[in-house]
Amino acid sequence: MRIAWFWLAASLATMSGNLCAQAPAEPYKVLRTVKVGGDGGFDYIHADSDVRRLYVARSGQNSRVDVYDLDTFAPVGEIKTANARGVMIDAKSNHGFISSKPLTMFDPKTLQVIKTIDVQGNPDGMFFDAPEQRLYVLSHVAPFVTVVDTKEGSVLGTIDIGGMPEQTVSDGEGHLYINVEDKENIAVVDTKTMGVTAHYDLTGKGGTCAGLAFDAKNRILFAACRNPANMVILRADDGKILSTVPIGAGADGAWFHPATMEVFSSNGGSGTVSVVKENGPTTFALEQTVPTMIGARTSTMDWKTNRLILVAAEFGPPTPPAQPGGNPGRGPLLPDSVTIIVVGK
């Protein structure tokens, strides 16, 4: 009897372990929504995970950057500047930058403006290369990329990538990858020469690509595209397309998490986040579609909590209404409706 009991107990333990191993991972979901309100629209957001601050660029007549506590989302302050589009922080030099025209350099501790920097084009998105302490300011008109030294706040040069840039990633080895939204390709830039060395063609697989993420270990790029709405997955070294995975409509940002081997695409058109799993260097699948809010397109990662943070707002009906067969467009932004959305587990 004692032998039988031990055998039964061991069998139950094995079965329990197998069931636990086969249990599906906890799904992603909206953990919190915070209506922060305020006048004006919104654009890019940036989470400073170490200092625990969230920067939200606000557009309109009262253009500014609103700053929140990243844990409570209580207001911390604001930075006044014209045509605010986004924020990046260089913690080493204690300099923050706002993509405005002129570019605004500020002190992240006091939120006081240090100086403005004259740049060409229309500053939009930005990418900060921390090892080189360089800021790459993107513009939808020439010159398409302006390079700024974040230590001094001086312009080092410009880069012509041949079209409208959106999101940028770096391999940490002297190469930038920039999706060219209106040309259906990804530009490869040598950071030493500040010149373009290649264009990876995405024609037919994904167009109007507005999000880009990078798996540094396997050297894989993930381009979140709108037309067709695919995540195009390709090798960073030669641009060979490995796979395409359908995602939600209106992608406008992508992030790769190396600990989970997952890519997140924030899709404002469908009001979703697409989670794509990298099961291996050549195997990818849509893992989950998380409902968020229509218009929740720009996003940032809080790397300390492993949560994706998005911003959205409510809009009224289009004025005038669309004609039969026409594009309905988007109505006016409703007052005090800007909302922060947190997605995680």
Q: What is the pLDDT of residues 273-329, one digit of tens each?
A: 999 999 999 999 999 999 999 999 999 999 999 999 999 999 888 777 655 655 556
pLDDT for 328: 55
In the predicted structure, residue 126 carries a pLDDT above the cut 80: yes
- Quickly count: other Cβ atoms within 10 Å of residue 283's Cβ: 10
pLDDT for 9: 42
Kindly state the average pLDDT of the residues 108-135. Answer: 97
pLDDT for 327: 52
Contact 176, 168 (CB under 8 A): yes
Give the model's confidence band at 263: pLDDT under 50 very low, under 70 low, under 90 confident, else very high.
Answer: very high
pLDDT for 213: 98
Express each pLDDT in 78-109 by its tens digit.
999 989 999 999 999 999 999 999 999 999 99
pLDDT for 323: 58
- Quickly count: other Cβ atoms within 10 Å of residue 28's Cβ: 19
Task: Return the biggest CA–CA distance within the chain.
Answer: 86
In the predicted structure, residue 140 carries a pLDDT above the cut 50: yes
Give 41: exposed, middle or buried? Use CB within 10 Å, 0-12, 13-18, 19+.
middle
pLDDT for 331: 82
Kindly state the average pLDDT of the residues 120-148. Answer: 97
Kindly state the average pLDDT of the residues 43-61. Answer: 96
CA distance 49 to 269: 27
The DSSP result for 209-229, as a single string, is: EEEEEEETTTTEEEEEESSS-
pLDDT for 7: 41
CA distance 253 to 124: 13
CA-to-CA dists, residue 166 to 42, 145, 187, 210, angstroms: 16, 10, 11, 5
